[in-house]
Amino acid sequence: MWIRLIILIVCVFSVASCGDYAALEAIDENRKMADSLFIVRKDTLNKSFEGVCDSVYKIHYDRAVDSIKQLRIEGIKDLIEPEN
């Protein structure tokens, strides 16, 4: 009885794991395809990313400068009119 149960459990686990190999092969094939597409489109992607980075950099730079200016203005006001 126990031997049949153990054999049944082993069979179920071995059949259930068969799908995992197909999934792993599909993942590996997808990774290879993505790598080849990236290599082909690398120059175009770099130019696109540079454009996006430049526009985001300008926004963040302007915010940082405005923030620093505001801190400096508050510091000057504190020097002119010290709090009691």
* The pLDDT of residue 25 is above 60: yes
Q: Domain residues of the chain, as ranges?
A: 14-80
Residue 4: C-alpha distances to residues 10, 17, 22, 72 (Å): 10, 20, 29, 81
Give the pLDDT confidence score for residue 3 in this predicted structure: 77
8 A C-beta contact, residue 64 and residue 57: no
Give the pLDDT confidence score for residue 58 in this predicted structure: 87
Give the pLDDT confidence score for residue 65 in this predicted structure: 92
% of the chain with per-residue pLDDT over 90: 13
Q: Copy the structure tokens of residue 8.
A: 């049944």
pLDDT tens-digit series, residues 51-83: 888 888 888 999 999 999 999 999 999 889 877
Q: What is the mean pLDDT of residues 21-42?
A: 79
